[in-house]
């Protein structure tokens, strides 16, 4: 009887190991194929953005949000500080929040991809979006 239970237990372990091996092999094959890349391109389009600060931002602390995600917080440490981000969502908005007052300074609607140049003009922020 012990031999029968041991054999059945061993059989189930072998079936589980073969099943896991087959699953991971097929997953690896699928993710490396061209069909998987086509499906991923259709299902998950990426939208690329880059945000550059002007030289007048060096003493000002701001937070940048893309939709609901914090992408930058603090003071730009260099003149040419650039924040690059990729998103999956279709409708994206860039929110600029003043760190000292927690007030939304600017909201910028973005297209599929773009480069945003932020300029600080005496307390107001102006932006130029190049798609």
Q: Where are the domains of the chain?
A: 2-42, 46-130
Q: What is the pLDDT of residues 76-99, one digit of tens each?
A: 766 666 777 777 677 778 888 888
Q: What is the pLDDT of residues 28-46, one digit of tens each?
A: 766 666 666 666 556 555 6
Dihedral over Cα of 107, 113, 119, 120: its sign? positive
pTM (predicted TM-score): 0.58
| CA Rg value for the chain | 25
Which CATH fold topology does 46-130 show? Immunoglobulin-like (2.60.40)
Q: Which residues contact 5 (CB under 8 A, 6 or more apart)?
A: none
């Amino acid at each position: 009887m012990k031999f029968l239970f041991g054999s059945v237990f061993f059989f189930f372990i072998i079936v589980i190991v073969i099943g896991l091996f087959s699953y991971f092999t097929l997953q690896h094959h699928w993710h490396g194929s061209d069909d998987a890349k086509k499906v991923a391109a259709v299902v998950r389009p990426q939208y690329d953005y880059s945000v550059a600060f002007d030289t007048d931002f060096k003493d000002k602390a701001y937070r940048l949000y893309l939709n609901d995600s914090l992408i930058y917080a603090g003071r730009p440490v260099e003149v040419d500080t650039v924040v690059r981000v990729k998103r999956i969502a279709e409708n994206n908005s860039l929110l600029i929040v003043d760190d000292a007052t927690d007030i939304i300074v600017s909201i910028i609607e973005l297209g599929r991809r773009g480069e945003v140049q932020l300029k600080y003009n005496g307390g107001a922020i102006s932006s130029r979006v190049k798609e």
